[in-house]
Amino acid sequence: MPAIILDGNKIAADIKKEAADEVRRMRSAGTQPGLAVVIAGDDPASNIYVRNKVKACEELGIHSEKHALPESVTTDELLELVQSLNQRDEIDGVLVQLPLPKHVDHRRVLTAVDPLKDVDGFHPVNVGNLATGRPGLFPCTPLGIMEILRRENIRVEGAEAVVVGRSEVVGKPISMMLLNQSATVSICHSKTRNLPDVCRRADILVAAIGRPGMITRDFVKPGATVIDVGINRVTDLAEFERFFSGDGKRRDSFEKRGSTLVGDVHPDVAAVAGAITPVPGGVGLLTVAMLIVNTLKACKTRRMGEVAQAERA
């Protein structure tokens, strides 16, 4: 029986609809949430990501600003901009788009963001809040994964979860989120011994390793929920055939565009998994949706006091 497809399009649309209702309520109370996005250099992928984030905010009635700086920007200049955004009350979220130019000290810049405005969830204060189970702003992609599991009624409590990848953006925070909801969590990486054996224990398998199609059928326990975080561009025909042989529709699109996307999970895994996120159309769409949620949360915490009161209760 083929896996249930966990539709990121629908879940992201539902979250944005809920956010739009919340923005209308906040604006009627005299408060408009605000997000500032800082980008340096001219990385094509970063420009696309920033454009999507700003567009999503505009569609929902959130004030948004894009601060585009040249490749030559210095660490001190970025720090000065971040500090100025920290001081503006109408700006609730400050997002510094990565990667920054190589000569910039990105850790200093990220740490300069006010933790109450850190809608990416990268500040050490928010990392500590997540690790200790306290309220805070947490990374958007892991939050999106947890929303998928929650909205699709996939039980986390008591489940055995395996996370492949230990990045600060996805691997580590999703591991902590799963642990905070009482899953038994294993974190795997390039040095893990007998990786397929470890992965086959998982009721919930999260692949965030950044290697196309690395997770194959022999990594997956039949019926497991598989969350594919990877987004890898395939441009080579031989590699395309390795993943999508016999898929005529995908082949036509590949020949027309010259590329296609594949996750960190081989498409064949859908034949053994119980549920799986597609690529595209899965986790990636939740990242922007959860950025919006974080911006609203920051606004309510900073300017309306609602989140803090609810969490104290």
The range of the structural domain enclosing residue 57 comes to 30-114
| C-alpha of 297 from chain center | 16
Give buried/exposed letters for 235-264 (b at 16+ CB in 10 A, else e). Answer: eeeeebeebbeeeeebbeebeeeeebbbbb
Catalytic residue among 114, 118, 120, 228: 120
Catalytic residue among 16, 92, 97, 172: 97
Catalytic residue among 53, 117, 172, 297: 53
- pLDDT below 50 — which residues of the chain? 307-313
Domain total of the chain: 2
**Whether the predicted model's global pTM rises above the 0.75 cut:** yes
On whether residue 100 sits in a domain, the answer given is: yes
Q: For position 307, what pLDDT does the model report? A: 47
End-to-end CA distance of the chain: 45
Q: For position 303, what pLDDT does the model report? A: 84
CATH number of 99's domain: 3.40.50.10860
Q: For position 214, what pLDDT does the model report? A: 96
Same domain? 84 vs 181: no
Q: For position 306, what pLDDT does the model report? A: 58
53 is annotated as an active-site residue: yes
120 is annotated as an active-site residue: yes
Same domain? 152 vs 77: no
Kindly state the tokens that stand for 172: 């580590």
Tell me the pLDDT tens digit for each residue of 89-138: 999 999 999 999 999 999 999 999 999 999 999 999 999 999 999 999 99
